[in-house]
Homo-oligomer: A and B are copies of this chain.
Amino acid sequence: MASPTRAECESLDARDPLARIVNEFAPGEPGWLYYDANSIGAMPMSAHRALGRLAEEWRRLRRRGWSDADWLDGPTRLGNKLAPVLGAEPGSVVVCDSTSINLYKALRMALALRPEREKIIAEDGAFPTDLYIAGAAARDHMAGGTLVRVDDAKALGDSIDADTAVVLVTHTDYRTSYRHDLAALVTRAHHHDTLVVCDASHSAGAVEVGLAAAGVDLAVGCGYKYLCGGPGAPAWLYVAPRHQAHAESVIPGWMGHADPMAMLPEYEPAPGPKRHLAGTPPVAGNTLMETALDLWKDLDPQAAFAKHGALGDALINTIEDLPKPRPMLAAPRDPARRGGFVSFRHPEAHAYVRALERAKIVASYRAPDIVRFGLSPLYHRYIDIWTLGDRLRTLQMERTES
């Protein structure tokens, strides 16, 4: 397909139902093009004001902020704002802790729901932390668990058997951007009564995750990439409603207690999703995260995901229209199988990303040969793809001439 022309991009932006959202984000440095949504999303304009309000609440309310400024309910309130973006049921998501901590909790919960089974299965290409944490959770499993690493997505489905407690899936591959078909994986897993735990960090806020529709059992993800919750934003944890009453946190801190302030000598998990909380909510992080989640208030997530797919298609066409030698597509061509970014292979990927940076284009490198362009349906415009293409053509001409 031909790369879109400037006029086509302008026309697409004019018809974009999400166009107004772009203006809700603070502009970056003049002249720079940012394609690092897969590392850290842009800052909503409202973040500044929200931080000012937080400081004022802290100064003025002190302890009363927990009730009067609703700090205490942040984890579930934010979870409910996030749920539609994940295709999750109300009351199934809490915003808390980090992705690593939440994944440990999710895997331990899943293992406890299948106490007689031994195996966690995961792909060798899963996000490394997912594998580290899965290994630790397996070691801590009462039955003495084992993490079995398999070669690829196909093997992940094929390896499930009656001794498999959990399939852990990194929803979107952090190098190729291959996005798993969760519904198909869940069908195969549930056939063996195996649970599916998903890390959707590289999907959430950019593409469809569809946790409820796919039947995923537990899921986690970060808040700082496409969800734009700020650097080191609190992460999220999804527990399917059918498991809520049976799934107990292995780290039973007071915020997960049915009555935290009663200071009771014995732990009793809260009846709802709060049972998955441990410590005191990080109010500053939640403040930024809520600012970002509020951008979705009047948005149709499906429209956002459709725009993201179209942006990705335009980006692929633009890169593939560059004169050779050019980066080769590594991501799936089908937008339904792509995650939040589009990735390409380049024999000198690291040097290429540095050259992009000199041309004021922020992309990201992953060893050995991957160049990633993160796309946000919220703040990227079609014209940004045209500008990127234009700058890449210039860059390539300079490189060819030099």
Residue positions of A touching B, CB distance < 8 A: 26-29, 34, 36, 39-40, 42-43, 47-48, 51-52, 54-55, 58-60, 62-63, 65-66, 71, 97-101, 104, 124, 128-129, 131-133, 135-136, 140, 174, 222, 224, 230-235, 250-255, 257, 262-265, 267, 278-288, 362, 364, 366-367
Closest to A251 in B: B104
Smallest beta-carbon distance A364→chain B, Å: 7
Smallest beta-carbon distance A291→chain B, Å: 10
Closest to A250 in B: B136
Contacting pair B224 A280 (CB below 8 A)? yes
Contacting pair B48 A62 (CB below 8 A)? no
- CA A279 to CA B263, docked complex, whole Å: 29
Contacting pair B39 A62 (CB below 8 A)? yes
| Known contacts A232-B286, A254-B128; A42 and B62 CB within 8 A of each other | yes
User: Can you list 20 A-B contacts (CB < 8 A)?
Assistant: A28-B60, A36-B62, A39-B62, A42-B59, A51-B51, A58-B230, A65-B231, A97-B97, A97-B98, A98-B278, A99-B280, A128-B264, A131-B267, A132-B267, A135-B267, A136-B250, A174-B263, A231-B284, A232-B281, A284-B284
- CA A128 to CA B55, docked complex, whole Å: 30
Smallest beta-carbon distance A249→chain B, Å: 8
Oligomeric state, in copies: 2
- CA A58 to CA B285, docked complex, whole Å: 13
Closest to A103 in B: B253
Q: Which residues on the B side are within 8 Å of A235 (C-beta)?
A: 279
Q: Which residues on the B side are within 8 Å of A265 (C-beta)?
A: 124, 128, 131
Smallest beta-carbon distance A193→chain B, Å: 24
Q: Which of A62, A65, A101 has the most CB of B within 10 A?
A: A62
Q: Which residues on the B side are within 8 Å of A128 (C-beta)?
A: 254, 257, 263-265
- CA A283 to CA B285, docked complex, whole Å: 8
Contacting pair A362 B63 (CB below 8 A)? yes
Smallest beta-carbon distance A132→chain B, Å: 4
Contacting pair B43 A55 (CB below 8 A)? yes
Contacting pair A133 B251 (CB below 8 A)? yes
Contacting pair B101 A279 (CB below 8 A)? yes
- CA A128 to CA B220, docked complex, whole Å: 28
- CA A278 to CA B251, docked complex, whole Å: 15
Contacting pair B252 A26 (CB below 8 A)? no
Q: Which residues on the B side are within 8 Å of A124 (C-beta)?
A: 265
| Known contacts A63-B40, A267-B135, A362-B62; A100 and B279 CB within 8 A of each other | yes
Contacting pair B62 A254 (CB below 8 A)? no
- CA A35 to CA B382, docked complex, whole Å: 55
- CA A264 to CA B140, docked complex, whole Å: 22
Closest to A141 in B: B140
Contacting pair A231 B71 (CB below 8 A)? yes
Q: Which residues on the B side are within 8 Å of A288 (C-beta)?
A: 284
- CA A104 to CA B279, docked complex, whole Å: 11
- CA A334 to CA B98, docked complex, whole Å: 41
